[in-house]
Structure 1
Amino acid sequence: MIHQAKKLLREKIKTFIESLSKEEQMQQTKAVFSRLENVKQYNEAKTVMLFWSFGKEIFTHDFVNMAYQTKEVLLPVIDGENLLIKPYTGIENMAPEPHFGILEPQGKAILDARPDLIIVPGLAFDAACNRLGRGKAYYDKLFSSRNTRATLIGVGYNEQIVGAVPVDDHDKQLDMVITPEKIYYRKM
């Protein structure tokens, strides 16, 4: 039942995202990262894990490069069914991965990475900071495999906020979700 609900929601949100013009995408991206730059946890973080966007995801490339000027930046890399964490050392050290052509950092994975803050992509989010990913559970596995105290922040377009994201026991709730219009906080 939950699996089917997630599948239907993914299809609905993908349609919304695909309908965004490049101009709308960039306007909303700019607003999201403007909000993030004013978040206390981001400003205090020394090491942040971001993601290198692809397709119509919130565009992270400029923000990754900006953050790299003052923080240690880590990026996830898909490795089979899991995510590895590698240091970002500049665009010149990125290369396309073989499956989707997403640029990823070269070099060795950091096995004991302990970022202070993790920025997480998603297809849908709700006001309780639940997240719906693409269905491979990469981030949920990453969070459960590490004893992380990192602040978990989802970023998305206004159209990605829904009334309620269907969740399973393994789904990890985020601490915050940032959209162009609002910051949602997990209730403790």
Structure 2
Amino acid sequence: MLKAELRKIYMQKRKALSSDEALLLSEKILENFLNYFKPKAGQKVHVFIPIEKFNEINTWAFIDAFLYRNIRFFVPKVVADQLISVEINRDTAYETSGWGISEPLSNDDSGELHFDYVITPLLYSDSKGNRVGYGKGFYDAFFQSISPTSRKIGVNYFSPAEKIDDIWENDIPLDYLVTPTEVLSFFSGEE
């Protein structure tokens, strides 16, 4: 299927979830992430803040888990049409962006290029780690700018079903996909 078709289908599927269903599925995704990757104090994780109106995975629970485990974490912020990484702590002040995303007030890019994990928003991922986002290309550009050893991890309510037919040369696939029921590895260097 084409990305535009998949984007429409999976946006509708996500919107059909009740807030209670989305919260429960998000908790299962977090549990699968923590059990599989076992993040440790001092590691660096880049994690998106959810767009609630799009019923995205509730990553606030991820952020709470990272704070509890003393994991350094960073969130994306779009500044001048570029995605930057802002390091977050308990005292970070937030504002709501034009996209309806809670973002840190700071526009200071951390300059960090190596993350242990980059938790990536998406609408759909196929069984090869190719993903469908919102079509803006922010994460493909971000993936090109960071260390190739940073593990790119998609989180989604849904497991792969359809193949994405229109993969472009600048598309960068995920290394892993975490759903409420499984963790899939697309990483060729898996131990």
The TM-score, its normalising length taken from structure 1, stands at: 0.89
Question: 1:44 Cα shift?
Answer: 7.6
CA distance in 1 between counterparts of 2:162 and 2:42 reads 31
CA distance in 1 between counterparts of 2:45 and 2:119 reads 8
Instruction: Please state whether the residue corresponding to 1:9 is helix, strand or coil.
Output: helix
Match status 1:125 vs 2:122 = no
Question: 1:45 Cα shift?
Answer: 6.7
Instruction: Answer yes or no: is the 8 Å Cα contact 2:126–2:161 preserved in 1.
Output: yes
Instruction: Please state whether the residue corresponding to 2:13 is helix, strand or coil.
Output: helix
Amino acid at match of 2:5: L
Amino acid at match of 2:112: D
Partner of 1:42: 39
CA distance in 1 between counterparts of 2:161 and 2:91 reads 34
Question: 1:137 Cα shift?
Answer: 0.7
Cα pair distance change 1:20/1:95, threshold 3 Å: same
Instruction: Answer yes or no: is the 8 Å Cα contact 2:39–2:71 preserved in 1.
Output: no
Amino acid at match of 1:16: K
Partner of 1:30: 27
Cα pair distance change 1:91/1:54, threshold 3 Å: farther
Partner of 2:134: 134
Structure 1 unmatched runs, 5+: none
CA distance in 2 between counterparts of 1:170 and 1:81 reads 18
Cα pair distance change 1:126/1:146, threshold 3 Å: same
Partner of 1:86: 86
* RMSD, matched Cα: 1.9
Question: 1:23 Cα shift?
Answer: 1.4
Match status 1:15 vs 2:47 = no
CA distance in 2 between counterparts of 1:67 and 1:23 reads 23
How many residue pairs end up in the alignment? Answer: 183
Cα pair distance change 1:91/1:179, threshold 3 Å: farther
Partner of 2:99: 100
CA distance in 1 between counterparts of 2:91 and 2:136 reads 27
Instruction: Please state whether the residue corresponding to 1:162 is helix, strand or coil.
Output: coil
Question: 1:187 Cα shift?
Answer: 5.3
Partner of 1:151: 151
Partner of 1:53: 50
Instruction: Please state whether the residue corresponding to 1:13 is helix, strand or coil.
Output: helix
Question: 1:126 Cα shift?
Answer: 1.5
CA distance in 2 between counterparts of 1:32 and 1:63 reads 9
Cα pair distance change 1:140/1:95, threshold 3 Å: same
Structure 2 unmatched runs, 5+: none
The TM-score, its normalising length taken from structure 2, stands at: 0.87
Instruction: Please state whether the residue corresponding to 2:149 is helix, strand or coil.
Output: coil
Cα pair distance change 1:92/1:86, threshold 3 Å: closer
